[in-house]
Amino acid sequence: MNNNFVKGSWQEILDWAQNKSINMLHYCTGCGAIELPPTMTSRYDMSRFGIGPAATPRQADLLLVTGYLSTKTLRRLIYTYEQMQAPKFVVGFGSCTINGGMYWDSYNTIKQLDKYLPVEMYIAGCMPRPEAILDGLLKLKKMIANGEADGYKRYEENLDFYHQNQEAILGEVQRTQ
Amino acid sequence: MIDIIYRIGHFVLITVFSMALGLLFMGIARKIVARIQKRYGPPVYQPYLDVLKLFGKDAITHGFIFDFGAIMALGGVIATLFFIPLGSWQLYSMEGTVILVIYLLAIASLGMAMGTVGSGNPQASVGISRALMQMLGYELPYLVILFALIYRYQTSSVWGLMQAQAGSFLNWNLFAYPLMAAVAFVVLIGMMGKKPFDSMIAPSEIGSGPVVESGGKYLGMLLLQKSITIIIELALFVNLFLGGAENILIFTFKMLIVWVLATMFGSLFPRFRIEDGIKFFWKWPLGIAILQALYIII
């Protein structure tokens, strides 16, 4: 029991550090990418909240999916997500990731990101302004600090569900393990 | 027995102090770069949070060589640290420490190289090959300077070279041999991989180079390695050109000034291609260093 208490407090410390320091991998194939440079640079400097860009999936904590995903890019997104190290978080960005947005009847894009990867939260809008992005990321920070952002655990628990959905639309998906 | 315990305590103290100071310097640099770009910037203590977070994350290994490379990189810089006087803090003083330090710093780079070979990522290989090529570029002028100084003061220990500049500040090598100090400053920027010479880590081009496959705990370890490397390189510059210092506070202050200047220079320039960087090192710094060395010898 004492051991559990120590473990719990250590986890709280780690959650606190995680919420103060987030490295973001922005998956910029959608049009939402255009809103990120102003969010990162001088106008709306996001680094004051401890959020910075990451160069590779291995170093990243947060996967920002900026806009629509064609089935071709979904495969790359899944590979990217599986290369990241837990704790890892996914944020859907723009209405395309929620319900397909303006691509609602496209034959070649996915409509709901939630079916393929565990999404912590969405930032709605087409496109969301930098203020909205910052607001969303601050909410994500709060979720991480409270230990509510547990998408990577959900992914492990419901691995079959996610794999089934991924394979239904992509056919075969390479798995590392 | 007491002596050994005292010495081990000293080891640990110096290592922890350098890690903490290096991380603080990195935080200060991020703030300075942010202010130059008209941003507010992350808090100064951000690197500490980064390290804490990274050690709390999962990490994936790419085999024994990958692990060993990371440990060798960290061990190499910690070993180097013991031969450099920090103020009056000094563990080993003997003839030849200048050359020893240069050798040991290379071990850290070779450790990184081993780690990248273990990871098998082509971008990591490109990054580390650029880092080693750049080392070839800046070590030549640096060695010319060091040998000239060794010849001038007839001692090859860092402590001795520092003592030789005692007395007035006009005895500092910065004022006695300003050209040489300028070359050493350019070399310092190259050593630390700051902006004109950061083609080995180029994040948008080769995905941060040697550390491309290191995530979680490995990245934390390499961040600590980087922080100690910064302290070593700054301490070497302060000892050789700013006359060292009699206590650690003044020494830290001098290191901070050099670091701030290097950061400011670094944030002004765009990135050299690797071959242009080496050409630059072998043209201007090497030429000036040789001129100054000839002046000292003749």
As a whole-number percent, the residues of chain B with pLDDT over 70 amount to 100
Q: A7, A25, A56: which to substitute to probe chain B, counting the most B Cβ within 10 Å?
A: A56
Give me the half-sphere count of Cα atoms (radius 13 Å) on the Cβ side of residue B34.
21
ipTM: 0.88
Query: Does the structure show a pLDDT above 70 at A13?
Result: yes
Q: Which of A131-135, B32-36, B163-167 has the lowest mean pLDDT?
A: B163-167
What confidence score (pLDDT) does residue B243 get?
84
Residue A100 confidence class, pLDDT cut points 50, 70, 90: confident
Nearest C-alpha neighbor of A94 from the set A40, A132, A145, A41:
A132
Mean pLDDT of A72-98: 89
What value does the mean pLDDT take over residues A138-162?
A: 90
Quick check: B57 and A55 CB within 8 A? no
- Asked if B56 lies within 8 A of A18 by C-beta distance, the reply is yes
Determine the number of helices (DSSP H) and then strands (DSSP E) in chain A. Answer: 7, 5
Cα(A62)–Cα(A36) distance, integer angstroms:
14
Higher-scoring residue by pLDDT: B138, B244: B138
- Chain A residue closest in CA terms to B204: A55
State percent of chain B over pLDDT 90.
Answer: 35
Which of B176-190, B193-207, B233-247 shows the lowest mean pLDDT across its residues?
B193-207
CATH architecture of the domain covering A23-170: 3-Layer(aba) Sandwich (3.40)
Asked which of A118-122, B85-89, B248-252, B293-297 is least confident by mean pLDDT, the reply is: B85-89
**Using a CB-CB distance cutoff of 8 angstroms, which residues of chain B are in contact with residue A84?**
215
Chain B nearest CA to A102, separation (Å): 31
Within 102-161 of B, beta carbons closer than 8 Å to A belong to none
pLDDT of residue B82: 85
Neighbours of B1 (CB within 10 A): 5
- B79 at A interface, C-beta within 8 A: no
Which tens digit of pLDDT belongs to each residue from B25-59? 999 999 999 999 999 989 999 999 999 999 988 88
- Distance in Å, alpha carbon of A99 to nearest chain B alpha carbon: 31
Q: How far is the C-alpha of B158 from the C-alpha of B87, rounded, in Å?
A: 12
Residue A30: φ, ψ to 5°:
-90, 175
| B52 touches A at CB < 8 Å | yes
What is the nearest CA distance from B70 to chain A, expressed in angstroms? 15
Average pLDDT, chain B: 89
Is A59 within 8 Å of B211 when comparing Cβ atoms? yes
Q: State pTM to two decimals.
A: 0.90
Say whether pLDDT at A35 is over 90: no
Q: What is the mean pLDDT of residues B87-98?
A: 80
Contacts of A13 in chain B (CB under 8 A): 52, 56
Could you state, in order of their start, the residue ranges of all structural domains in chain B? Answer: 54-297
pLDDT of A10 strictly over 90:
no
Confidence label for A126 from pLDDT (cuts 50, 70 and 90): confident
Report which residue type is found at B37.
Q
d(CA B168, CA B151): 21
The per-residue pLDDT for A176 is: 62
Q: What is the pLDDT of residue A1?
A: 54
Chain B partners within 8 Å of A28 (Cβ) = none
Chain A residues with a Cβ under 8 Å from any Cβ in chain B: 13-14, 17-18, 20-21, 41-42, 45, 47-48, 50, 52-53, 55-59, 61, 84-87
Q: Which one-letter amino acid corresponds to residue B297?
A: I
Give the pLDDT mean for A112-137.
90
